[in-house]
Amino acid sequence: MMLDRYRPRYHFMPLNNWMNDPNGTIYHEGYYHLFYQYNPYGDKWGHIHWGHAKSKDLVEWEHLPIALAPSTELGELHCFSGCAVYDGQQARIYYTSIGEGERNPATGAEQWMATSTDGLLTWTKHPGNPVLTSALHGGADIREWRDPFVWREDGTWFMVLGGAIEGKGCVAIYSSADSTQWSYLNLLYVDPDAALCECPLIYRSGDRYVLIYSPGGVVQYITGTIDDSYKLVPKAKGIVDYAGFDGYYAPNLLTDGEGRCVMFGWMPDEARGEFAEIAGWSGVQALPREISLTESGKLAMKPVSELGRLRETHVGERQLIHDREGAIADVSGRMMELSMELDLAGLGTSAFEVGVLRSADGREETRIAIEPTAGRITIDRSRSSLSPLPRRTPVTGNYEAPDGRLRLRIFVDHSTIEVFCNDTTCLSARVYPTLEDNGKVRLYGLQSLEPLTRFDAWPLSVAPSRQG
């Protein structure tokens, strides 16, 4: 199979067709397992199954047979998002089952379970499905009820599900002694500013909980505690990634054998608009991110260390050529990693920009811009593509630099850009440059290289098995 110029190489994606949310991410018997929303029949959303892949190292992935398919004989049309757990004897998938008519997503969603005893390769749907229905809520009218996430705590199983109540996004919480019979506890959280909360996750660090959810746009998180009535008591709030549908949505997470919490996320292709040069595939999984919780309650996020295996020849400060426009880095390509550190005091009020995927004539370029006085970082897509069809709106976020230094890591992979700033700010974007020579790197806004206290760059490669 020949890969087109926009198809990412070192990010995970199926061989073809549509992919969206990561599902059922779990570390089991030495492997990272990634399930995902998948349409085996085309490159548009529909006929949603669960695709499946596994990896020893989060870099090289082995494609596996489809894990879940809609049981049309039981009225299923789609297997929506969910999670996977292992109870020590049996692996279980929980997911939202969708049909038509009374089984529609708005008012008729059901939560189903499937089990596996052969290393997560084949799954049998529970004969007692559904394991949860909206009747659990009594008089509470929770709509768009979906995306179960399950964890165990002190011998009790808990589940959160997203939805909407009275026009506001909500996350409901449930408990079970045996992970099959469930009881409704409460509305864990209601977001007054969202119409819907999708794909809720719980990450626990000591006695603190982090609720992560996708409210139809930029993915949010809230750090806090859970009180005796099973309501979240917020202490801090933040943004997981400022992209939303422009580059990051519907994350899922797992805890691996080293105790790391690793988060996956979907990079939609919505930003390409009617750009017709891509066909046969849609959707990419973002780079796996290790997450942790800072003392202040901020979510810290960094790309997993295993990605270092992709690096080729190192380029550093000595390879920078300073000219009137800025500095040219002696590295090029559509697959690269850039890492740098800036002394913000040395920059003063000047904006600093990193141009990637730049054509030789400068007509195409995506810039990552730092505004020190505003504490703002932006992925500027105004010149990313000569085509007028892809989205050009900027992806903008805020960063904190309490020590006066800014640490920046940028990953480029053909049509994907992911930016990590001081470990607590992430921005992602999809871009679609059209020119053949589009792969240069340039730094702007430096009167001298002195504020740039560190600069590292690597072209990245992939194993032959990933070439397609």
- Identify the structural domains of the chain with CATH numbers, from first to last: 17-306 (2.115.10.20), 311-462 (2.60.120.560)
CA–CA dist 117, 92 (Å, integer):
9
Residues acting as catalytic residues: 21
Per residue of the chain (468 residues), what is the pLDDT tens digit?
345 889 999 999 999 999 999 999 999 999 999 999 999 999 999 999 999 999 999 999 999 999 999 999 999 999 999 999 999 889 999 999 999 999 999 999 999 999 999 999 999 999 999 999 999 999 899 999 999 999 999 999 999 999 999 999 999 999 999 999 999 999 999 999 999 999 999 999 999 999 999 999 999 999 999 999 999 999 999 999 999 999 999 999 999 999 999 999 999 999 999 998 888 999 999 999 999 999 999 999 999 999 999 999 999 988 898 887 788 898 999 999 999 999 999 888 889 999 999 999 999 999 999 999 999 999 999 999 999 999 999 999 999 999 999 999 999 999 999 999 999 999 999 999 999 888 999 999 988 888 999 999 999 998 655 544
Contact 382, 390 (CB under 8 A): no
Torsion angle of the four alpha carbons 97, 98, 104, 106, in this order, in degrees rounded to the nearest 10: 60
Residues ≥6 apart with Cβ < 8 Å to 178: 157
First and final C-alpha spacing in the chain: 5
Contact 237, 223 (CB under 8 A): yes
